[in-house]
Structure 1
Amino acid sequence: MQKPNVIVFFTDQQRHDTTGAHGNPMGLTPNFDRLARAGTHVYNSFACQPLCGPARASLQTGLWATQTGVFRNEIPLPDDIETLAKVFGRNGYSTAYIGKWHLAGVEPVPKERRGGWQEWLAANNLEFISDAYDAVLFDGEGQEKKLPGYRVDALTDAAIRYVDRHRSDPFLLFVSFLEPHHQNHTDDYPPPEGYRQAMDANLWTPPDLVALEGTSSWQLGGYYGMVKRLDEAFGRLMDAVRSLGMANDTIVMFTSDHACHFKTRNVEYKRSCHESAVRVPTMITGPGFMAGGQVRALFSTPDIAPTLIDAAGIEVPPSMEGRSLMPVVRDARSPWRDDLFFQISETETGRALRTHRWKYGVTAEYDHDCPRADSYREAYLYDLDADPYEMVNLIGMDAFVTVVAELKARLLDWIERIEDGHRPEIVAAPQRPSRQYRLHPRQLREEYARDSSMGMRPGD
C-alpha cells in the first residue's frame, strides 16, 4: 500500500467565521467550503492556547502548552521532544517546513531548533523580518532568501515547487503562513492591492464585533482580503496536487493556530479563551477523509499530530496527549471527549472549559515566569446555544449555580491531569440575581461602554 503524502496548510490568527462553511456570507473561501463539503469538515475545532508559540508547540508535539514547556511566546521548543516531523521522518517520509515557525527564539533558526524538519525555508518571526510584498525567509543553511510576489503567493509558490520535486516519494509538507495575522510594525492587516476596497464595499461584521467593535471597524476589510487571498492560494495548491496526479494519494489539512477578537476582549488580538480567539476553521481532504461529512467532535490543537500520524497508517507515539480523530471520521458514533480544555499563560493566566453548550472560564494574577496559578477566580459563563458569540456573561447568577459546580469540577480534573497533578483553588464569583431577558446589540454596546468605564466586562 502506498504511503499517502500529507500537506498542512496553516494560517495564522484566522477566525472560523471567515469561512462560508461557518456562515460568512461574503464568499471569501469557496475552495475551503467546497473541499470541506467533499471531505471532512471539523466543525468544532479550537486552539488549545490562543497564542502563536504555545499553539504551534502543541501542534508539533500533540501535547498541551504547559506539557511542552512552551507556555508563552519566545520559549524554544525542547530539542529532545517528540514531534510530528520526527515521527514521519522515522517512517520513510521526506519532510519540509515553509513559512513561520515561532518556536526557536532566534533568527535564523539553527538546525537543532527546527523540530526535526528536514528541508527548511522558514523564519522564526516572519512578521518581524518580512512584509506583505517583502517575503523574506531563510533556507536550510541559514541564508536569507527573498521570494517574489505577495507573501501568501510567495510561500504557495515554494510549496508547489516542493510538491513537484517530490512526486515519487512520500512527503510531509507544512506550509505556515503569517496571514491573516496583523503586520506588527504597522498594526494593520495588509491584503493584496485592491482587496481592501473590494471587501469594504460589501462588509459583513460578526455579531461580537458589531456590539464590541474593538479595532474591527477599520481593520476588518484588510483582514478579509488576506483571508480571500489565502483561500485562492489554497485552491492553487490543490490544483497543483491534482495536476500532478497526486490528489488520490495526498491528505491535506487546512487549519489555523488561533483566531482574532480585534481587541474586544483585552488590549490585543488573542490571549483570551473566548470563541473569537480560540475557534478556528479546520477541514481535511484526501484518502480516509472523503465524504467524512461534518464532524461535530470537540477537536483541539493537540489532536492534529495524532490524527495525521494515524491517517498515514503510522502508530501514534504514547507520549502524545492528543487523540486521533480517525475513529470519529470513520464512525460518528465512536466515543470522544465531552469537553475541551484551554490554557492562557501570557498577558493573563487563565483556564477554561468548553462543552457543546457551555463555556466556563477562570483567571488569576499574571506572572510572566509561571505557567499556572494556585488560585483562580471565576470570570465568565456563557450559554453557547443561546449566545454563540458570548455576549451575555452568566457567571454568578443564581440560576446557574448547579451548572457552574459541574463545570468547575470538570475544569479542575483537566488541570490536574494536564498540569502534573496540580489542583488549584477556584474562588466563586459573587452571586447576583438572574436576568430574564436578552440584550440587543445597541443595549450591549451601551452596557459595554458603562462596564468598561468601571473596569468591568459585559455582564460582570
Structure 2
Amino acid sequence: MKNVLVFFTDQQRWDTTGVHGNPLGLTPNFDRLATRGVHVANSFTCQPVCAPARATLQTGLYPNTNGVFRNGIPLDREVPTLARQFAEAGYETGYIGKWHLYRDECPGPVPAEHRAGYQYWLAANLLEFTSDAYETTLYDKENQPHTYDGYRADAIGSAAIDFVSRDRDNPFFLFLSFLEPHHQNSRDDYPAPEGYRERYEDGWVPADLAALEGNWPEHLAGYYGMVRRLDEVLGRLVDALAARGILDDTIILFTSDHGCHFKTRNREYKRSCHDASIRVPTLLAGAGLHGRVEQLVSHIDLPPTLLAAAGLPTPSHMQGRSILPFVDGSTTEPDDVLVQISESETGRALRTRRWKYGVTAPDANPWDSPSADAYVETYLYDLESDPNELTNLVQEPILADVRQQLRARLLERIVEAGEVKPVIAAARA
C-alpha cells in the first residue's frame, strides 16, 4: 500500500511555475517533480471560491452536490469523504493547516464531528484569521492551541515533516493545506518571507495582468516571494520522505484551490471564471507515476485519481473520473471542464481547449442561490486568438453556431453534475 500526500496551496496561479513558462525560477522543486512524475498541464478548479473548491477535493462531489456552494457553509457531517475512505482501507489519516469547511464565524478550532473523519488533526478553520506571516496558531484534535514561531509556511511544513517521519505500521494519507500565497486579509497584503519580496520587484508580469488595471503592481512581488517559499517547503518535505526511505512509496498530489487575478476582473482576487481564477498548477508524483496529461482536468477528477493511484476502488457516488488513463492516452473522453460559481454571480462556465463560454443568472442572489432555472449568455472568449480573455465575443453574429454548440455541451455538463436542466437565453444586446 502506498502513502498519499496532498500538498495544497491557496490562490496560486498556474503560471507561477517554471513548467508553465514563468521565467523567475520560483518553483524548481515543483518543476522537477512535474518533469519526473505526471504534469497535469491543463488543470482547473470547479469553483473559484475557497470552501467550495476544498469541499470538492474532500468529497469528489461538485459544490452544488455536496452542499458547500459558497464560503461559510459547513461540510455535511454525513457526506462520504476521502479521509473516511482511506481510513476504511487501513490508512492513518491526517490533516494539517487551513480547513475552511466549518462556519466562518469560527476561525479557530473545528469540532471533531466536522473534520470529515480525519484521525490526526492540527489545523485552524480560517488560518488567515488565526495567524500572520510570522505568527501561526493551529489546534490539535483536543482543540488545544499550538503556537509556532517562524514563517507560517515553514511552520506548517515542519509539522508535516514530523507527521511523515513517525514510525507507523500502516500507510498514511496526509492532507497538507497552506494559506500561502493567499493574501493576508487583515491588511490586504501578500507577506513574503523577509527579503523575498525584494527579489521580484521588477519580475515578469503575466500578460493578462499587464493588460488590465488591478493591484498587481503593488502585490505581485510579494506573491511571488510566497510562492518561492512554498516551493522550498515542498523540497524540504520531499527530502524528508527520501531520508525516511519512503519517497518512492508515496503518491504526491500538488494542486491549489483556485488562482488569483489581482482585482483585474472584479473587486476581489478570484470569484471569476477567467483562467487567472480557475487554472491552477497540478502534478502527481511518486509510486511509479510518469508521463504528462494534456487533457483538461477538473478538481472533481482528483479524488478518484488519488484512490486509483493507491489501488483503491472509486465509490460510485463520486462525480469525477480518474485521470490515470490520460497518462497513457487510453481514454477518448470529452476534453472540457465545468465551472460553477457563486458569491460574485450565480453562473456556470464551460472551458474547452479553444473556448470559454459562460452564463449567469442576473436575477439570482449569488450568495443565496446555488443554481438557477434560467441563465443568460454572458461571455465568450476565443482562447486561441485571445488567451488573456480581453475580448468578449458573446454577441458576435458570426459565432452563433459556436455558441449553440457550446450551449448544448454546457447543458449536458450541468445535468451530468446532478442539476436540473436550465434554460439558457441568448446574450442580451
Please give the TM-score of this superposition, normalised by the length of structure 1: 0.90
SS at match of 1:348: coil
Partner of 1:208: 208
Q: 2:75 aligns with which of 59, 74, 77?
A: 77
1:194 alignment partner in structure 2: 195
Partner deviation per Cα, 1:167-207 (whole Å, 9 max, x = no partner): 5430001110000000001100000001111110x411101
Match of residue 245 from structure 1: 245
Matches within 5 A, 1:339-418: 339-365=336-362, 366-367=364-365, 368-418=367-417
Q: Distance in 2 between matches of 1:362 and 1:163?
A: 44
Q: CA deviation at 1:317?
A: 0.7
> Could you tell me whether the CA contact under 8 Å between 2:215 and 2:262 is conserved in 1?
yes
Match of 2:335 in 1: 338
Instruction: Deviation per CA, 1:385-413: give whole Å up to 9, x if none.
Output: 22222112111101211111000111112
Match of 1:20 in 2: 18
Matched length: 424
Which of 308, 311, 316 does residue 309 from structure 2 map onto? 311
Letter of the aligned partner of 1:57 in structure 2? A
Are 1:14 and 1:256, in contact at CA under 8 Å, matched by a contact in 2? Answer: yes
SS at match of 1:44: strand
The equivalent residue for 2:286 is 286
Once the two structures are TM-superposed, the CA of residue 95 in structure 1 deviates from its matched residue by 0.4
- Give 3-state SS (helix, strand or coil) of 2:342's partner: strand
Map of 2:184 onto structure 1? 183
Separation of aligned partners in 2, 1:167 and 1:240? 15
Alignment match, 1:61: 59
C-alpha separation in 2, matches of 1:242 and 1:168: 18
Partner amino acid, structure 1, of 2:97: G
The one-letter code matched in structure 2 to 1:124 is N
- Tell me the percent identity: 58
CA distance in 2, matches of 1:246, 1:25: 32
Matches of 2:302 and 2:122, distance apart in 1? 22
Q: Which SS does the other structure have where 2:200 is aligned?
A: helix
2:98 match: 100
Listed as ranges, the matches of 1:109-124 within 5 Å are 109-124=110-125
Letter in 1 for 2:93: T
- Segments of 4+ moved more than 4 angstroms: none
Deviation at 1:345, TM superposition (A): 1.7
* 8 Å contact kept, 2:96–2:160: yes
Trace 1:125-140 onto structure 2 (pairs within 5 A).
Answer: 125-140=126-141
Distance 1:309 1:336 in 2: 20
1:142 paired with 2:140, answer no
1:297–1:336 CA contact under 8 A, matched in 2: no
Structure 2 match to 1:160: 161
Partners in 2 of 1:115 and 1:300 — Cα distance?
22
Aligned to 1:300: 298
Deviation (angstroms), 1:24: 0.6
Query: Shift in Å at residue 370 of structure 1?
Result: 1.7
Q: Which amino acid aligns with 2:98?
A: K
For 1:197, the aligned partner's letter is E
Letter in 1 for 2:60: G
State the partner residue of 1:273: 273
1:71-108 Cα shifts (integer Å, max 9, x gaps): 00010000111111010000000000000000011331
**1:333-357 superposed Cα distances (whole Å, 9 cap, x missing partner):** 3222322100012121111001111
1:426, distance to aligned residue in structure 2 (A): 1.6
**Counterpart contact for 1:298–1:340, Cα < 8 Å:** yes
CA shift, 1:235, in A, is 0.6
Change (3 A) 1:226 1:182: same
Aligned to 1:173: 174
The one-letter amino acid paired with 2:397 is D
Deviation at 1:166, TM superposition (A): 4.1
Say if 1:133 and 1:61 are closer, same or farther in 2 by CA, change over 3 A.
Answer: same
| Alpha-carbon shift at residue 279 of structure 1 (Å) | 0.1
Contact 1:288/1:311 (<8 A) preserved: no
1:325, CA displacement in angstroms? 0.9
Residues in 1 aligned to 2:333 and 2:87: alpha-carbon distance in whole angstroms: 29
Assess if the C-alpha contact under 8 Å between 2:376 and 2:428 holds in 1.
no
Shift of 1:18: 0.4
SS in 2 for 1:173: strand
Amino acid at match of 1:400: L
Amino acid at match of 1:77: L
Q: Structure 2: state its 5+ residue gaps.
A: none
Q: Which amino acid aligns with 2:378?
A: A
Counterparts of 1:279 and 1:142, CA distance in 2: 35
Amino acid corresponding to residue 425 of structure 1 in structure 2: V
State the Cα deviation string for residues 20-62 of structure 1 (Å, max 9, x = none). 1111111100111111011100001000000110000001110
Partner of 1:402, secondary structure, is: helix
TM-aligned CA deviation for residue 418 of structure 1: 1.8
Where structure 1 has 5 or more consecutive residues not aligned to the other structure, the ranges are 432-460
**Equivalence for 1:234:** 234
More off after superposition, 59-68 vs 364-373: 364-373
Counterpart CA distance in 2 for 1:122 and 1:9 is 14
Query: Comparing 382-391 with 110-119, which one deviates more in the overlay?
Result: 382-391
Shift of 1:302: 1.2
1:16 maps to amino acid: W
Q: Do structure 1's residue 327 and structure 2's residue 325 form an aligned pair?
A: yes
How far, CA to CA, are the matches of 2:25 and 2:168 in structure 1?
33
CA RMSD of aligned residues (A): 1.1
